[in-house]
Amino acid sequence: MKASIFDAEKLEARRKEHQLQPFRIKQIYHEIFKNSVIDFQEMTALSKEMRDSLSENFSIVPFKLKEQQESPDTTKFLFELEDGNVIESVIMFHYHEIIEWSKEYKKGFTTLVDGKKLNRLTLCVSSQVGCSVGCIFCVTGKLGLLKNLDVQTIIGQVLYANNYLKEKLGKKEDNSRYMIRNIVFMGMGEPLLNYDNVKKSIHYMLDQNGFSLSRRHITISTSGIIPGIQKMIDDNLEVMLALSLHAPNQELRSELIPTITKMYTLDKLLAQVDEYTEKTGRKIFYEYIMIKDKTDKPELAYELIDLLLARPVHSHINLIPYNENPAIDLEEPSRNKIMKFKEILEKGGVTVTVRDTLGRGVKGACGQLGYEKVYEHRDEIKATGKNLRVLKK
């Protein structure tokens, strides 16, 4: 098996063995992070002999593309790992309608697509193969947990996405490259259950010699893993935190997330969140799933108001319309019902946004990663109530 190009010890040993100058290492990383190169043979600043040697002994991305699905606002990648497992990543293209060209151009918008300007690019990154949390509305939870992803596989998703953007979009008007500028750990898996590897991957995302991203442009989304939130406090991990709240009371939350809510009860979780906001000074984002006749009731909106305004730091809540899960019978509320829920929250003093349903066309919307695999086994999963990992044993 090839070594990771990010294994500094092995790369340094290789450099010394072949008596290469230290600047060559910086040159390799510059090609990878700044020029979005994921094939050593494309690093033409290196000799042919060196490119061949690197190709034979090291890997940049430790997976291959299995399938790619595209819609106007998203691109979903299905990557096959060396062990045969599959993970998914989703690029979200955020556009801004052109109203007055001169003003909008000055704001830095770039490629024009169907009368809209491309504003920003977000990558939804996976941190595990499958997930153990088992939220009833989430497709990935029906897979069960297969493994944690290592650092190379996590950052490899970003590298692959940047390489794809280079080929798809070319260069901007100022001759700079299109690159992912926002990363959300909202793909497959619970990132705080793979904390060490997620933390190390964030180092590459923030490093000036790496992806050089802003701390405010990286978000970790958690279902409520209290020890992981505590680690973020202890390590002063200065990225954004989003909490998948989904319910304003313990009873409903336990129904929606049956696996962790007995250990991490809502009162304990919110106490940890309060400590996080007080010690870090950062707001968090709350995520709330909108499911017909389950989480969309007006009385729940009033409960949410009381719950959120009782926090020492008032934060933003995103309402997420339910996206289809083939292994469970739930429905999305009507748009009117969602907007009424939003109106109640706003009148109560809570800032709220209804999340765009980007990615539905490729089954890459929130909670849908792993859709194709779950759809294939949907009847068996429904009949037994077990996840795919258990069924395959």
Catalytic residue positions? 88, 366
The amino acid present at 200, given as its one-letter code, is K
CB neighbours of 299 closer than 8 A, spacing ≥ 6? none
Q: Are 269 and 224 in contact (CB under 8 A)?
A: yes
Rounded distance between C-alpha atoms, residue 17 and residue 138, angstroms? 49
Please choose, from the candidates 306, 318, 370, 333, the residue with its C-alpha nearest in 3D space to the C-alpha of residue 87: 370
The amino acid present at 340, given as its one-letter code, is K
Rounded distance between C-alpha atoms, residue 192 and residue 184, angstroms? 13
* Strand stretches in the chain, DSSP E: 3-4, 58-59, 63-71, 74-81, 86-97, 112-113, 116-124, 128-130, 145-148, 182-185, 218-222, 240-244, 285-290, 316-321, 352-354
Strand partners for 185: 220
Please choose, from the candidates 296, 203, 292, the residue with its C-alpha nearest in 3D space to the C-alpha of residue 248: 296
In this structure, what token pair is assigned to residue 373?
Answer: 């695999």
The amino acid present at 157, given as its one-letter code, is Q
∠ CA 360-362-368, rounded to 5°: 60
